[in-house]
Structure 1
Amino acid sequence: MIIKIIKILKGEYVSVKGKETGVHAYLGVPFAKPPLGPSLRLAPSQPVEGWEGVRDATKKPPMCVQSKEVLLDLVDKLGKLLADIPDISEDCLYLNIYTPANRANNAKLPVMVWIHGGGFALGSASIYDGSALAAYQDVVVVLIQYRLGLLGFLSTGDEHIPGSCGLLDQVEALKWIQQHIHNFGGDPGLVTIFGESAGGVSVSLLLLSPLSDGLFHRAIAESGTAAMNVLMANDPLPMAQAVANASGCSLESTKKISDCMRNLDIDTIVGFTQDTTLRFQVNVDGHFLTKPVDELFRKHELHAVPFMTGANNDEGGWMLASVRLDREFVVNIVSLFYPDVRDVIADEYIGNGDDRVKNRDGYTEMLGDLFFTIPAIKAANAHRDAGAPVYLYEYQHPPKFLQQKRPSFVGTDHGDEIFTVLGFCFTTNHIRLSDPCPEDEEQLSKIMMSYWGNFARTGSPDRHNLVHWPKYGAEEKYLWIGLKKQVTAQHLKKERFVFLTQTVPEKIKQHEENAERSEL
């Protein structure tokens, strides 16, 4: 099918398992100018200028600069996932669009915009596929890309490199969608943003940014929210200085760092993707993010649109260490984030450390709580208190093809819900499973796609033929989602939440007060 938009796009028809009619896919659609050259590198993305003639939209776009080797290794570990991984390029601001092939010419369908995860260092639109969700839920699905790592999140903390380029790319993509998605049968007044891990954090940050006002109307943050402090930087300058120093740039001023980094050869930048000690995080730049997240939450300075969030029941399983998990190891890990109360947290999760099984299970639960589950509840509370309709979930089913590759004690791990939300059981194109899904997993995927699709259509995941999903309010009700059943539950991780949001801050305050007294 050919779509007229600015110029002309040529897409392709994609079949979807279990549906008589598939979707039309348009891959590699540019939404911004290529961020190339000293003036556009490390700068806010600019509107796209269009193209001449017919553009071939049947090929995957290049991924943003990252370690392709690390990404290939992650995909390889999934085993039965067949995926064609594109090359990397600094020219990467593209999106993929999937629209039902049987839609009416005047259709105004809900639009669901997927923001990929990967710790702001890895990922792309093309390692996902929106065809099944589009076909089964009669929605337009858009998968977007954004600059990663150094090019997306380097900041000097001032006007020379303010930071947040990757997040500004997301805003630019949403602006493009507002202007052009009607050409694909989408309703620009009914846009849902959704994402997982760093994609969920992105969704949550977009809910806090003044720049995204009016660009979307519902939001879903899976296993990642803005309350996830590990992806936030209090002071981004030391990381910028470290990279500049390693590049041979002058550290005399932030302007000289900026000038040097903007002119750095791309091979040097690609080389930094292999350095696992470098972490590029989100900072308060005064533009995309105007205040610290906690302050924005506390003051209810957020877009009060319908909000869904949640986590999986064993988010920390993927972070199991290969070394022996004794108390010393756990304490050392905790000290990276809470040095003043590391023993208090270790006591809570593993006790004295004599029980190896308790150490293992406590360690993974602790990481899941600190990074994913408790931040999700914090975000749910903030949006609820700001007057937004909120829906909370806990997902509890690892795909069976992954169960075969994991130790039996690992539950539903980080990212496991993606396979059912995006309907990987039904995809047939660029990314798919090598073996058919069991019937019960296909049914669970249809249920998950229905909940997500309902939310995109109405602002509530609830529907008469599904298990009731209550709104998250003062009673703190949520939906427990399993393979065989879904159950309404209450007070997700209540004791751990109280411990980490009340007891730990009190202990930190006591430690600071004691330190002040000792100095007098």
Structure 2
Amino acid sequence: MPPPVVKLSPECSVQGIRTFNREFSKGVESFTGIRYGEAERFERPKLAELWEGTRIANQRSKCCPQEFEFLENQYAPIQIVDDESNSDENCLELNIWRPSKIKESEKLPVVVWSCCNHYRHGSANVFNGDIFCCVNRVILVTFSFRLGLFGLAASEDGVLEGNYILLDQITALRWVQKYISNFGGDPNNVTFYGASSASSMVSCLLTSKLCRGLFHKVICESASALATSSRATPRKFASEMHFFILRKEGYKGSRNGNEIKQFLKSKSTDYLKVLLYSFLSVTTVIDGYVLEEDPVDVYDKGLFLKLPMLCGCVADEGYTFSQFALHNSNVKSDSHFVDLIRRAIRLYCYLFLSKEMGEKITKLVADKYRPEIQTHENFFKAIMEIYGNIYILSNVLKLARYHSEHNTTYLCELHHRPDYFEGPEFVSMVHSKDLAFKFGVPFSKKYGDLKWSDDDKEISLRLMKKHGEFIETGEISDWQKFTTKTKHTEIISLKSKTKLASVFKDDNYEFFNETIPNIVKEDKPIENFCLEEGMKTYMVASYVTFLGFDTSNNNY
């Protein structure tokens, strides 16, 4: 049988490859490494021009230069195919998978997967779509985009816009609208799917006028734009952070955007990919173009795109963040416990607080969650709960509440301990490790020699089918919808649901979404925040967190 060929225009074609999966007795066709956009360094992207003739589309997509060790750790123990050999600043390429034997009259549902962690790491190639498209008769698109400083560089005057990371994703969605019908996809039935930082950006783009008509359903998992830790940053603060770093790295010029841009354009890729220090918290920017105003304010006003939504989390979101802060160590003492809370508050959640307000909020959180019996394990469980709520749970629940007022919304949580996982017995599924199950990795031999149990495969199959049903119809037939009245959460587990309590708790929601924000309002206005002094505090706190120092005797 000849390889699959798709015409993008009368003069332009792509040739893919066809594979057959014996376990599912189905064929899948893939087209990888297709260029969807072009972008020079720190410039807006544009749709890629088509070519003449037929191109072979069987190579992995380019990915943005990054520190691949972090990407590997994020998805370990599955093997990552990306490395320096396929990294390139001009990385705007995508991959497409579809079921074999698509009829000419068919228009299949489309899901566009955005892969990003920490706004610095990600690639179109992390997950292969073969298994997902065996289980679901849908078309899966994955794509690479600019990350780190390449995607976020900002100057106060707007010469450096700060949202190239979002503009690239919008360009990929525009390409899908223009060409996916040639592959048998329905451009009027597109689901935009993101997890972790990508979920924050998907929910962020729901507030952008540039995205109207580009997608019709969303899947947001394990983060949202409503989190204090991933909230879009005012341009003034983002630009000052970048300027502060540049000064530390030898830049002698002014804050003028053209001057900074010229300096950055003169530097090597290797220099730029590590310039936004790994321990710095970075997010998208309120630029007045992609994000005309703070997405949180847009949600408050009810002006976001009101689309069907599937959102959720895993049982132990806080575990990964706790391990990062503790460097696989223990919470040593009550003062160490308080310090871990202080770092989360000052580094990732409330960057503009005065020192006095920062201490007030730190004490409030510590007093609420301090365990009665102070053992290492109990302290660790408390930090897990705090980090899980402050980074993920409280804002995902808030996102579900907003959307449920206007359209179909499902809220789910995954309780399953992978067979390979060697963490504490009281921990099951942790941040980002669920994605392997949602893309069918337990059924694939392309990710190394991991041994997957029958339970792992059963959970994986269930997740793929439920996601596929939502992608196709915007509904999940045997799930109850989430509303502010029912507050129903679908618990996904092989255990009896009667034995599992939801991780979404009203008390935690009110504490992190109402109590703390109301107290923070008492602080001095953000206009009075000293950026220079704040950056010094922020850098010191970030540095000690990244290196794992115990700073329990220091109030930064």
CA distance in structure 1 between the aligned counterparts of 2:283 and 2:386, rounded to whole angstroms: 22
What is residue 197 of structure 2 aligned with on the other side?
Answer: 198
Q: Structure 2: which amino acid aligns with 1:330?
A: F
Give ranges in structure 1 of 5+ residues lacking alignment.
Answer: none
CA distance in structure 1 between the aligned counterparts of 2:414 and 2:195, rounded to whole angstroms: 13
- Secondary structure of the equivalent of 2:489? strand
CA distance in structure 1 between the aligned counterparts of 2:512 and 2:31, rounded to whole angstroms: 45
What is residue 553 of structure 2 aligned with on the other side?
Answer: none
Contact 2:408 2:481 in 1 (8 A): no
Contact 2:8 2:179 in 1 (8 A): yes
Q: State the Cα distance separating 1:500 from its structure 2 match.
A: 1.5
Contact 1:195 1:221 in 2 (8 A): yes
**Alignment pair present for 1:85 and 2:76:** no
Aligned 1:109-188 pairs, distance under 5 A: 109-188=108-187
**Alignment pair present for 1:71 and 2:71:** yes
- Secondary structure of the equivalent of 1:230? coil
**Alignment pair present for 1:12 and 2:17:** yes
What is residue 350 of structure 1 aligned with on the other side?
Answer: 370
Select 1:317's aligned residue among 313, 316, 319.
319
Q: State the Cα distance separating 1:285 from its structure 2 match.
A: 0.7
Q: State the Cα distance separating 1:120 from its structure 2 match.
A: 0.9
CA distance in structure 1 between the aligned counterparts of 2:295 and 2:415, rounded to whole angstroms: 29
What is residue 58 of structure 1 aligned with on the other side?
Answer: 58
Greater shift after overlay, 134-143 or 409-418? 409-418
Greater shift after overlay, 390-399 or 146-155? 390-399
Q: State the Cα distance separating 1:348 from its structure 2 match.
A: 1.4
CA distance in structure 2 between the aligned counterparts of 1:301 and 1:473, rounded to whole angstroms: 19
Number of equivalent positions: 496
What is residue 285 of structure 2 aligned with on the other side?
Answer: 283
What is residue 551 of structure 2 aligned with on the other side?
Answer: none
- Secondary structure of the equivalent of 1:226? coil
What is residue 2 of structure 1 aligned with on the other side?
Answer: 5
Give ranges in structure 2 of 5+ residues lacking alignment.
Answer: 351-357, 529-556
**Alignment pair present for 1:480 and 2:491:** yes
| Distance change >3 Å, CA 398–CA 419, structure 1 → 2 | farther
Q: Structure 2: which amino acid aligns with 1:29?
A: I
Q: State the Cα distance separating 1:204 from its structure 2 match.
A: 0.7
- Secondary structure of the equivalent of 1:104? coil
What is residue 547 of structure 2 aligned with on the other side?
Answer: none
Aligned 1:378-389 pairs, distance under 5 A: 378-385=398-405, 387-389=406-408
Q: Structure 1: which amino acid aligns with 2:49?
A: E
What is residue 339 of structure 2 aligned with on the other side?
Answer: 332
CA distance in structure 2 between the aligned counterparts of 1:97 and 1:205, rounded to whole angstroms: 24
Contact 2:72 2:80 in 1 (8 A): no
| Distance change >3 Å, CA 331–CA 17, structure 1 → 2 | farther
Contact 2:72 2:79 in 1 (8 A): no
| Distance change >3 Å, CA 438–CA 352, structure 1 → 2 | closer
Percent identity, aligned pairs only, is 25
| Distance change >3 Å, CA 73–CA 507, structure 1 → 2 | closer
Contact 1:120 1:280 in 2 (8 A): yes
Q: Structure 2: which amino acid aligns with 1:497?
A: Y
| Distance change >3 Å, CA 17–CA 420, structure 1 → 2 | farther
CA distance in structure 1 between the aligned counterparts of 2:21 and 2:483, rounded to whole angstroms: 34
| Distance change >3 Å, CA 485–CA 202, structure 1 → 2 | farther
| Distance change >3 Å, CA 24–CA 356, structure 1 → 2 | same
CA distance in structure 2 between the aligned counterparts of 1:5 and 1:86, rounded to whole angstroms: 30
**Alignment pair present for 1:369 and 2:389:** yes
TM-score normalised by length of structure 2: 0.84
- Secondary structure of the equivalent of 1:28? strand
What is residue 533 of structure 2 aligned with on the other side?
Answer: none
Q: State the Cα distance separating 1:302 from its structure 2 match.
A: 0.7
Contact 1:29 1:57 in 2 (8 A): yes
Greater shift after overlay, 293-302 or 153-162? 153-162
Q: Structure 2: which amino acid aligns with 1:154?
A: A
What is residue 258 of structure 2 aligned with on the other side?
Answer: 255
Q: Structure 1: which amino acid aligns with 2:266?
A: N
* CA-atom RMSD in angstroms: 2.3
Contact 2:418 2:428 in 1 (8 A): no
| Distance change >3 Å, CA 288–CA 353, structure 1 → 2 | farther
**Alignment pair present for 1:244 and 2:263:** no
**Alignment pair present for 1:391 and 2:390:** no
TM-score normalised by length of structure 1: 0.90
CA distance in structure 2 between the aligned counterparts of 1:412 and 1:285, rounded to whole angstroms: 36
What is residue 511 of structure 2 aligned with on the other side?
Answer: 499
